[in-house]
Amino acid sequence: MKNICLFFFLFLATVQLKAQTFTGEKTNWHGFDRYDFVMSETTFQIQPIKATEREGAGVAGPEKGMRRCIVVVPKQAAEGNPWSWRGCYWDHQPQAEIELLKRGFHIAYITTDPDQTWEVWYNFLVNEHGLSPKPAFIGMSRGGANSFTWGTEHPDKVLAICADNPGLSQKSLMSMDKLARQDVPILNICGSIDPILNNTYAIQGVYQGNGGRMSVLIKDGTAHHPHSLQDPNVIADFIEQAYKAKPAAKPGFLPDKYKKSNFYSTDPVYSYAKHDKLWVTSWGPYFAGNYNKYQFSLEGVEGLVTVITPEKPATGNPWIFRCDQPDGSSVVDLGLLARGFHIVVAPIAYNADGPLFDQWNITYNYLVNKGFAPHPVMAGRGGATGEVYAWAIENPDKIAGIYGENPILRSSLAKMQPLDNLKPLSKAKVPILHACGSLDPNLKTQTGEVKKRYTGKMTVIIDAGRGHYPIAPQKPEKIIELIENMVK
C-alpha cells in the first residue's frame, strides 16, 4: 500500500514538473514567465521563439502562414494543471487571467480563428506538457465567438466559458445543446447597450432550454467597451469553482437510465459593482445557486418523471408533487428546495388530454418505496392546479396538503370536476392554500367558490393589484412556511 501511495505521489509530482517545462527563452508577462511559439499552418510544426521588446506584454501579428502561440506559467501550478485559453485579443483587459495565474492556472493563447491549428495547440499543451484536458475559456467579442466555436465542436474538452459581449455564429447557437449535455457552465458579461447583446439572450434561450447552466451579468449603461470587470475575482472565482466542482453522486431513487440537467433562479438582482463604479444586473446559477434536475422513465408510465433535488433533503424527505414544470421564476419551488424539499413533476401522457391517474399512482408508489415521504404536498399553477386537485380527491389519505397559484380547478380526465367534488378532501382534513392576484379574472369563480364550498382548513393569500401574471406570489416566504407546516 505504501509503495502504491509513493508511486502516485511521484506521478503527480512528475505531471506538475512536466507542465512547467517549456523550451525556449522566456519573457515577463505581468510578473509571470511567458513562453512564445510559432506554428506552421501547413506542417503544424511548433517552434519556440522569444517575444520582442517592442511587443511588450502584447503580441505582434504572425508572418503569413504562421500562428503565434503563448503560454504563461504560474509560479506554482495548481493540482491537475488547470489552464485558461484566451481566444482572441491577447493582453486586452488581462486582470482575470493574472488572478488565475496567482491561483495556479496556466494561461494560453493562439492567434485566431479556430481550425486545425487550435487542435494541434491543444494537443501540444495537454498531451506533451500535461495541462488539464479541459481548459476554461475567456473570450471577448470575437474571442467569445471563437470560444463557442471551439466549445461546440469539442464539448468534452471545455471546463467553462466566460464570454464578454460575445460574437456568435448561427452554427454555434444551434449546437449549444452539446455543451449543455456536458454540463459546461457559461458566464456572459455584457453591456446593456452593447449592439450585439441579443447574442447573449439567444444563447440563454437555447442553453437554458437544454438544461445548461448559464449565468448573465449586465453592466448598466455600458456598450461593447469596456470589456471585462475591474474586479477579477468575479471571473476567476467562476472558473476556479468550475474546476474544483465534484460530480454529483447519483441519488438512490434513480433507475439505471436517466437524464441530468439543472434548475436555477433566473430572477434578476440589481446591485452596485464598486470596482467598476456602475450598477449591474445578474442572474443564473453562478449568482443564485443551482439544483440538479433528473428525468427518467418508469415501467407502465407514458411520459417522463422529473425530480429536482435539494442540496440536503430535509428530515423525512418531504416533497412537492406537481403537474406542471417549474421555471426560473418559480420562487416558491426554489424556496422549498432551499428548505430540503424535492420537487417532483408527475408524468403527462403524450397520447392523452391530461394526466393518467394510474400512472401518477405508479410514480407515487415508486418514490415512496424509494424513501420519499408518504404524504406529499400537491401543487400547481393556473389550469394545472385542477389536475393535482383531481388526484388528491382520488387519494385524500396520501397527501399532506394542496397549494395552488392563481388556480383554475378544471380537470381533463376527472369523472367529476374538483369544484363539485371537494367532500373527500374535507373528510380527510386536507389543508388547502391558494396564492392569488386580486385582479386575477379567475379569483371569484375558482378560489372564491372553493372558499364557499370547502368545509376544511383553507388559507388564501391575496396580492393586491396583481392579475394572473406574474403568477408567482410577491411574498413567497409566508407560503413556504405554511407548506412546511403541512408536512409536520
Same domain? For 107 and 23 the reply is yes
Give the phi and the psi of residue 143 in degrees, each rounded to 5: -65, -35
Task: Provide CB contacts within 8 A for 174, sequence distance 6+.
Answer: 206
Q: Note the pLDDT tens digit of each residue in 328-387.
A: 999 999 999 999 999 999 999 988 888 999 999 999 999 999 999 999 999 999 999 999
37 in a domain, yes or no? yes
- CA 478 – CA 223 distance, rounded (Å): 41
C-alpha atoms less than 13 angstroms from C-alpha of 381 in its C-beta half-sphere = 17
Cα 426 to chain centroid distance, Å, stands at: 41
> Percent of the chain having pLDDT more than 90?
91
Same domain? For 100 and 235 the reply is yes
pLDDT at 7: 42
Same domain? For 38 and 118 the reply is yes
50 in a domain, yes or no? yes
Distances in Å between the alpha carbon of 367 and those of 71, 257, 350, 374?
A: 52, 16, 22, 9
Same domain? For 229 and 329 the reply is no
Is residue 402 within 8 A of residue 433, CB to CB? The reply is: yes
With CA atoms as reference, report the closest residue to 363 among 319, 413, 328, 415.
Answer: 319
Model confidence band, residue 15 (pLDDT cutoffs 50, 70, 90):
very low
Same domain? For 202 and 318 the reply is no
Three-class DSSP category at 470 = coil
- CA 387 – CA 380 distance, rounded (Å): 8
Q: Is the pLDDT of residue 39 over 80?
A: yes
Give the phi and the psi of residue 452 in degrees, each rounded to 5: -70, -40
Same domain? For 26 and 98 the reply is yes
276 in a domain, yes or no? no
Task: Provide CB contacts within 8 A for 422, sequence distance 6+.
Answer: 393, 450, 453, 454
Same domain? For 41 and 168 the reply is yes
Please give the mean pLDDT across all residues of the chain. 94
Work out the average pLDDT over 1-14.
44
Q: Which domain CATH number covers 326?
A: 3.40.50.1820
Work out the average pLDDT over 307-317.
97
pTM of the full predicted structure? 0.92
Q: What is the count of structural domains for the chain?
A: 2
Q: Note the pLDDT tens digit of each residue in 157-189.
A: 999 999 999 999 999 999 999 999 999 999 999
Q: Note the pLDDT tens digit of each residue in 415-474.
A: 899 999 999 999 999 999 999 999 999 999 999 999 999 999 999 999 999 999 988 899
430 in a domain, yes or no? yes
Q: Is the pLDDT of residue 9 over 90?
A: no
- CA 302 – CA 446 distance, rounded (Å): 30
266 in a domain, yes or no? no
With CA atoms as reference, report the closest residue to 383 among 421, 415, 362, 355.
Answer: 355
Residue type for 254, please?
L
Same domain? For 324 and 193 the reply is no
Of 233, 260, 287, the last residue of a domain is 260
270 in a domain, yes or no? no
Locate cell 382548513: which residue?
Answer: 457
Model confidence band, residue 20 (pLDDT cutoffs 50, 70, 90):
low
Same domain? For 207 and 75 the reply is yes
- CA 152 – CA 175 distance, rounded (Å): 6
95 in a domain, yes or no? yes
Q: How many CB atoms lie within 10 A of CB 99?
A: 19
Q: β-pairing, 136-140 with 83-86?
A: parallel
Same domain? For 230 and 319 the reply is no
Cell of 67: 500562428
User: How many residues in total does the chain contain?
Assistant: 488
pLDDT at 195: 97
Same domain? For 227 and 316 the reply is no
Task: Provide CB contacts within 8 A for 424, sequence distance 6+.
Answer: 393, 394, 396
pLDDT at 6: 43
Give the domain range for residue 206. 19-248+255-260
Of 211, 231, 260, the last residue of a domain is 260
CA angle at 391 for the pair 385 and 392, rounded to the nearest 5°: 85
Residue type for 27, please?
T
Q: Is the pLDDT of residue 10 over 70?
A: no
267 in a domain, yes or no? no
> Percent of the chain having pLDDT more than 70?
96
Give the DSSP H or E segment for 39.
strand 32-40
Of 207, 235, 260, the last residue of a domain is 260
Burial 358-378 (b: 16+ CB within 10 A, else e): ebbbbbbebbbeeebbebbbb
Same domain? For 303 and 230 the reply is no
Per 3-state DSSP, the chain is made up of helix, strand and coil in percentages (nearest 5) of 30, 25, 45
Cell of 290: 443551482
- CA 5 – CA 406 distance, rounded (Å): 61
